[in-house]
Amino acid sequence: MAGRKKKSRFGLKLIAFVVLILCALVTYNRVLLNQDYKELQAQQQELDTQLAEEEDRTYDLNETQKYMQTKKYVEDVARKYFGLVYPDEILIEPEDQK
């Protein structure tokens, strides 16, 4: 009976050791997964910010495209780059200050 008690105690100690090792491995892997999760969250926030910026940029480009298809845009370009005016329009130019 004494030999049997020693065998069962050794078996229990071995099982406890294996369970302890498994718990340590699970805890270690959990820490690694939490780190990965935090990194992925930060990356997702950055990508969400970039997406919002690109959506704003797309909106601005669409508005510019709509403006470029108007008569007002053509008039503005003609005035700015070519100096054109309407026939009945009077321009007042400032005198040169010397």
pLDDT tens digits, one per residue of 44-98:
999 999 999 999 999 999 999 999 999 999 999 998 898 888 888 877 777 776 5
Instruction: Work out the end-to-end distance of the chain between its first and last CA atoms, rounded to an integer number of angstroms.
Output: 120
pTM for this prediction: 0.57
CA separation (Å) from 71 to 9, 15, 24, 78, 82? 94, 85, 73, 11, 16
Lowest mean pLDDT among 5-9, 14-18, 19-23, 27-31: 5-9
Q: How confident is the model at residue 1 (pLDDT cuts 50, 70, 90)?
A: low
Which of the pair, 11 or 63, is modelled with greater confidence?
A: 63
